[in-house]
Amino acid sequence: MRLLTPLLALRIRPHPHHISLFRRNPSLSRSFASPGTPFKPPQYGQPLSLTHPHLVRPGQLTPGISVGEYEKRRKQLVERVEQDAIIVSMGAKTIYCSQNIFYKFRQGTDFNYLTGFNEPEAAVIIRKDASPRGYHMTLFVPVRSAESDLWEGGRSGLDGAVEFFGADEAYPLSSMPSVLQDHLYSAPSIYIDLPPSKSKRSFLSGLLSSSSSATSDIESQVAKLPPGKVKPLNMLVQALRLVKSPEEVALMKQAGDIASKGHTEVMKFARPDLPEAHLQAHFEYICALEGSERSAYVPVVASGANGLVIHYTVNDCLMKDGELVLIDAGCELHSYCSDITRTFPVSGKFSPAQKDLYQAVLEVNKRCVALCEVNNGWTMNSLHTRSVTFMKEELNQIGFGLSHDHAASILYPHGLSHYLGMDLHDTPLASKSTPLQNGHVLTIEPGVYVPYDSRYPKHFHGLGIRVEDDILITPEGPLVLTSHCPKEVADVEAACQGLLG
């Protein structure tokens, strides 16, 4: 049984709606149904093993991620800060595309990584202490009400924050100013993410807008804090996120398999005179059937010369017989992303020129994947540099006559890789000069885009080709998480002709 630190020692003032491990609400074990009706577990703000056993297994907090995994993450984080330091992480808000019309909610990644709490308008304060747990966690969450149950569905509430998410205490978000105020001077450091373009005052004003008087008090006190007391949190969390756990790897492999099936089915589905948008819809449909909650990003479906536009997303042209179509599309599964690009012939068969250029790009992809090993010193930056050399070599074999790497980089203008995980471009603060390590996941995505330019062989003009896979770094060598997606010429043509998948 975990020992608890007294409230006074934590400098936290009790709140009328405060819930802690000292006082659990017995209603958690009761149904909201009236006497005589069949028992129905209460609904919360996200799937739990209690309510969604088909998604969340016993012992898991979120699908695929155990309660112990979240505990381990928080312990690893507090090991990186000084005693009595405060960690403050804010969840995301609901985002609106127009008046009263909201987007599907996606939790802030760092907050999600630390808590697994997947409702908007939430926050967490973690204080490193000398307890057996090593820290004290306070969650600030939306409070349940009859109105919110009616309009938005169930919330986890203060009870659920303690019962399921491991909080030592829980408050409404409106209480955050007063609770945070108690820590500002007693803590040696406060780790929180401050946008570089905003001051501490305006940042806190945005977070703590529920009480203008308390916000003003917090702003004035933060402004008086000694220099260096407020420190960035995101670099610490992203350093942890960079190395994937076995549970994370399993989810990313599932996401890769789902997107691979989506691409394979789209190859079979494609035909001349079909709108590009139909391929996007078919991919998203297949992924949804397989359990994906959303696309990892807006898909690129670029037929013909549209493939020369790297981020072509309008997807509003008709595909023509004899063209290639480049599809860059991935899915998100339980907060983890996949990212795949494939290029294939609309007619089901590569022309000789298309096949030659495709094979050149594919060879660069495979040669770079083979370098993704532990302890050989390769970084994402050095891999990209080598990929440009590989691209020059492969293109020269099919008649491009490039004299130096810079000429190849004109045809191949983007980077080879990015980290992948809970975000598509994961852990952006992690250096691309970091040597590849066990547990890193990155993309390998060489591409060539040949303009209508007399410097290049005419039969390649207007062709845009990219081949992208997701790679896990392991001690045994690179593991391709998207290996079920066809990429060899014969396999791609077979998929297009309905002979695969």
Q: Give the DSSP letter string of 101-130.
A: EEPPP---HHHHHHH---SSS-EEEEEE-S
Rounded CA-CA distance 79/127 in Å is: 11
Unique residue bearing structure tokens 């989810």: 251
| 165 falls within a domain | yes
| Cα–chain center distance at 383 | 23
Rounded CA-CA distance 64/327 in Å is: 28
Residue 320 and residue 219 share a domain? no
**For residue 39, pLDDT beyond 80:** no
The 3-state DSSP class for residue 432 equals coil
- C-alpha distances (whole Å) from 138 to each of 7, 13, 19, 166, 199 are 12, 12, 10, 9, 25
| Cα–chain center distance at 294 | 11
pLDDT at 183: 84
Find the mean pLDDT for residues 158-177: 94
Residue 277 and residue 219 share a domain? no
pLDDT at 145: 87
Rounded CA-CA distance 232/191 in Å is: 5
**For residue 206, pLDDT beyond 90:** no
Task: Spell out a b/e string for 187-198, using b for 16 or more CB atoms within 10 Å of the CB, else e.
Answer: bebbbbbbeeee
Residue 141 and residue 103 share a domain? yes
DSSP state of 443: E
| 16 falls within a domain | yes
The enclosing domain of 112 has a CATH number of 3.40.350.10
Unique residue bearing structure tokens 């979240």: 70
| 501 falls within a domain | no
pLDDT at 43: 81
Which residues constitute the domain of residue 61?
7-240
Find residue 80's DSSP bridge partners.
none
pLDDT at 407: 82
* End position of a domain, from candidates 187, 214, 240: 240
Q: Which residues contact 335 (CB under 8 A, 6 or more apart)?
A: 62, 107, 109, 112, 251, 422
Residue 255 and residue 235 share a domain? no
Rounded CA-CA distance 468/70 in Å is: 31
pLDDT at 8: 34
**For residue 479, pLDDT beyond 70:** yes
Residue 305 and residue 236 share a domain? no
- Under the banding of pLDDT at 50, 70 and 90, the label for residue 149 is confident
Neighbours of 175 (CB within 10 A): 21
Residue 388 and residue 443 share a domain? yes
Residue 119 and residue 252 share a domain? no
Sign of CA dihedral 345, 347, 348, 352: negative
Rounded CA-CA distance 435/444 in Å is: 15
Rounded CA-CA distance 474/441 in Å is: 10
**For residue 35, pLDDT beyond 60:** no
The 3-state DSSP class for residue 478 equals strand
Total domain count, the chain: 2
Residue 189 and residue 268 share a domain? no
Rounded CA-CA distance 135/61 in Å is: 19
Mean pLDDT rounded to a whole number for the chain:
89
- Under the banding of pLDDT at 50, 70 and 90, the label for residue 207 is low
Residue 306 and residue 236 share a domain? no
**% of the chain at pLDDT higher than 70:** 85
- Under the banding of pLDDT at 50, 70 and 90, the label for residue 166 is very high
| 272 falls within a domain | yes
* End position of a domain, from candidates 240, 261, 293: 240
pLDDT at 409: 86
Q: In terms of Cα–Cα distance, which of 152, 138, 122 is closest to 15? A: 138
Pairing of strands 331-333, 447-449: unpaired
pLDDT at 32: 38
Q: Look at 18-27, 292-301, 372-381, 406-415 and tell me which has the smallest mean pLDDT.
A: 18-27
- Under the banding of pLDDT at 50, 70 and 90, the label for residue 197 is very low
End-to-end CA separation in angstroms for the chain: 51
> For residues 404 and 331, which has the higher predicted lDDT (pLDDT)?
331
Neighbours of 269 (CB within 10 A): 17
* End position of a domain, from candidates 240, 258, 277: 240
**For residue 10, pLDDT beyond 90:** no
Q: What is the pLDDT of residues 104-113, one digit of tens each?
A: 999 999 999 9
Residue 439 and residue 295 share a domain? yes
Rounded CA-CA distance 424/422 in Å is: 7
Rounded CA-CA distance 407/41 in Å is: 64
| 357 falls within a domain | yes
Q: What is the pLDDT of residues 210-263, one digit of tens each?
A: 444 434 444 555 566 787 898 999 999 999 999 999 999 999 999 999 999 999
Residue 34 and residue 137 share a domain? yes
- Under the banding of pLDDT at 50, 70 and 90, the label for residue 379 is very high
pLDDT at 354: 99
| 2 falls within a domain | no
Neighbours of 6 (CB within 10 A): 8
Q: What is the pLDDT of residues 54-98, one digit of tens each?
A: 999 999 999 999 999 999 999 999 999 999 999 999 999 999 999
CB 482 within 8 A of CB 256: yes
Residue 224 and residue 338 share a domain? no
Query: Taking the CA of residue 329 as centre, how many other CA atoms within 13 Å lie in the half-sphere pointing to its CB?
Result: 37
pLDDT at 204: 54
| 401 falls within a domain | yes
The enclosing domain of 351 has a CATH number of 3.90.230.10
Q: In terms of Cα–Cα distance, which of 92, 114, 89 is closest to 191? A: 89
| 1 falls within a domain | no
- Under the banding of pLDDT at 50, 70 and 90, the label for residue 26 is very low
**For residue 176, pLDDT beyond 70:** yes
- Per DSSP, helices labelled H in 224-324 are 234-241, 246-269, 276-289
Q: Look at 207-221, 326-340, 406-420 and tell me which has the smallest mean pLDDT.
A: 207-221
Q: What is the pTM for the complete model shown?
A: 0.89
